[in-house]
Amino acid sequence: MAEDPVNVNEYQELARQALPKMYYDFYAGGAEDQYTLKENVEAFRRIMFRPRVLIDVSKISLSTTILGYNVSAPIMIAPTSMHKLAHPEGEVATARAAAACNVIMIVSYSSMCTVEEVASSCDAIRFFQIYVYKRRDITAQLVRRAERSGYKAIVLTVDVPRLGKREADIKNNLGTVKLSLSFYDRMIQPQLKNFEGLLPTQVVSDEGSNFKAYADLTLDASLSWKDIGWLRSITKLPILIKGVLTHEDAIKAVEAGAAGIVVSNHGARQLDHTPATISVLEEVVHAVKGKVPVFVDGGVRRGTDIFKALALGAQAVLIGRPVVYGLAAKGETGVRRVTEMLKDELELTMALSGCPTIKDITRGHVITDRERLQSSL
């Protein structure tokens, strides 16, 4: 691709060209048949606009607040793993781009830079994503380190009692015993930088993959709603619960004291044939009845997608793979460009839909495929 990308999707191809196939597949792949991976994107395309005209849109403002923090746009950088596989500067480069764009970065627990390194690299507003581990002291230590380093919220991922079956990784023999441990050393061990002195630096499985063995060793399949209370007891930071797809769990999250909910299917990397996140967003929004903000990730590739999510009740979207693709293609500059592209497209969509501010975007600005079908009957 000789020309500079003109949209976010073109960064994916640049990333595919730049990365070893093993790494690209790790970032790009989903679970099993990858039905949900495709559906996350396709579901946005089935939502149509209902633009309003003859409204003054000579000035457009994308600015909003997230948990009380002023940001330039309703965009957050989602927690994604091991950015140094995409670029040598890793999460530090991503954080600097987030700061330059004035958007929030959610730093993954499996960052290849420590929470302290990311914090000292720039003045971006940062949240920290964690799991609750079998050893609760590890979770507690990570939370305390995030607090000391100025992170503003904890994002608890709750949809991984076990690791999903990611067949692209299996086909690449990621960490299987048929290979030497060279892959494990590149893919698993670096992510333990945040866990030095807390967890083993090598996990070897007699069958299957070492990546799965690592997850089985650390992640707690007994995690339940009562553990949210424990997490709240060890931190003053607000806790967002990431991985909710139903109104039942949304209600439980509010009852458990969550400060916000992220509607997420883990980038379609866990349970295949879960619904596209945009298709269940309204269900969750209606369930919480405005008590906490609702965010959504999965399949966002255009500013039009962001507008649709906001119209259906999201306060902001999380951007995952496109950020990694930008990082792989052009480093910090690529992440900035991906973010600015989405902001520019959102601004244009708002202007063409008659919405000068984020607050002007309403449910009446979109129509879903289900509504179109009902109106045709």
List 127's β-bridge partners, or say none: 106
| 222, 131 Cβ separation under 8 angstroms | no
Phi, psi angle pair for 42, to nearest 5°: -65, -35
Phi-psi map region of 124: left, alpha, beta (phi>0 left; psi -120 to 50 alpha): beta
Residue type, 108: S
CA distances from 323 to 75, 295, 309, 335 (A): 12, 17, 18, 5
| 45, 305 Cβ separation under 8 angstroms | no
Q: Is 61 helix (H, G, I), strand (E, B) or coil?
A: strand
Catalytic residue chosen out of the listed positions 266, 273, 286, 365: 266
Residue type, 135: R
List 133's β-bridge partners, or say none: 219
Phi, psi angle pair for 71, to nearest 5°: -135, 165
Residue type, 214: Y
In the residue annotation, 365 being an active-site residue is answered as no
The structure tokens listed for 205 are: 């499985």
Enumerate residues 6+ apart whose C-beta is below 8 A from 239: 153, 154, 155, 156, 228, 231, 232, 257, 258, 259
The structure tokens listed for 210 are: 């070492």
Catalytic residue set? 266
